[in-house]
Amino acid sequence: MPSYTRPEAREWAREKLIGAINCTIPSFTSDLRGINEKAIRHDIALAKQHGFIGTLGVSEVAISVPEYTDFLQISKDEGGDDFVLVHHASWSNLEQNLEALRGAEDAGADIVLLSYPPNFYPETEQEIYDYTKAVCDATDLAVILFPMYLWGFSPRIHPSDIPVRLIRRLLDDCPNIAVIKAEGGFPHYMGAIECQRHFGEEVVISVPIESDLISLGQLFPIQLSATSDHEYYGPMIPRIMELLRAEKFDDASELFWQIHPGRKVKASLGPVIGGGAFINRQFWKFQGWLQGYNGGPLRQPTQRIHDAQMKALRQALVDSQLEPSMDPFREFFIGRNPV
């Protein structure tokens, strides 16, 4: 059970969600027949050590709903009550999403990141409204609304992915929408500015893109950056958010430029990482491994990562003065906690 009631979701988010939330990709046993509890606990403990206030339990890998529920239970047990566990509502259809949502509630998830299935092809705003409301109505957990280019809503529905007028309807009719993960119109940050201007006093506006966060956070307060692959930079994003909250903008800017080599290389690999409108979770797992996270094998189907990309990502962290792991790349595919 959540520590708040449905009508308290927005107040809970305002009070609790202050800081950065990273992503945890499930780890599997060496034979890929089960999840790897030791590795999962390792990743959650390191995320806490790096200063993250919570994590997204990524579901966009080859994993069953029961396995995913176990993954969340392990993550919650390791993270504890003060560590925010985000359920990734990214499954094949509405029915499966509702099944996974019930499992996430039982596992102790604190909040839901609402995604849209690859086979969902709305041609009207009403269809997006209906799907979103169906998920929100099915839970008392707080929900993160996520305007995002990956859903394919732009330009068919609106260039901003989910337009302000539709967000307005959803906030009015779904009181447990407590956060907007403002990536509409990516790679431009107009969506974040629009959401802040229209809805910033009602719900928490999350800016997950760290370059936007560090820039815009010097113009108006941003309390949350969730959810993103911030683990690529180790403890840097939680540290920078503390500087922004303290209005130490020169110090935050200095760190912005320090990690700029990493940012540039990661962006240059974007077509590889995001090709086919799908996030390459193998890349994200490798990015985390460079900072001490588990790594380890993923099941088919999964995208791949090759030497050239691994070398570029590691060298970019060296150039960013972040001391990445120099272990042989073969160790990534084994994982730091093989079982």
Assign a CATH topology to domain 6-269: TIM Barrel (3.20.20)
Residues of the chain with pLDDT under 70: 270-277
Q: Are 231 and 42 in contact (CB under 8 A)?
A: no
Strand partners, 21: 54
Residue 269 has what pLDDT?
87
Which DSSP state fits 57?
E
pLDDT digits (tens, 9 = 90+) for 43-60: 999 999 999 999 999 999
Tell me the C-alpha distance between 230 and 206, whole Å. 14
Q: Token pair for residue 6? A: 């449905």
Q: What is the pLDDT of residue 151?
A: 96
192: helix, coil or strand? helix
Q: What is the pTM of this model?
A: 0.97
Question: What pLDDT does residue 271 have?
Answer: 52
- Amino acid identity at 109: A
pLDDT for position 274: 46
pLDDT at residue 278 in the model: 73
Distance CA 103, CA 71 (A): 11
Cβ neighbours of 187 (radius 10 Å): 11
259-284 pLDDT tens trace: 999 999 999 886 544 455 678 999 99
Q: Residue 213, Cα to own-chain centre: how many angstroms? A: 14
| Token pair of 266 as six digits | 């990661």
Q: Are 89 and 113 spatial neighbours (Cβ–Cβ below 8 Å)?
A: yes
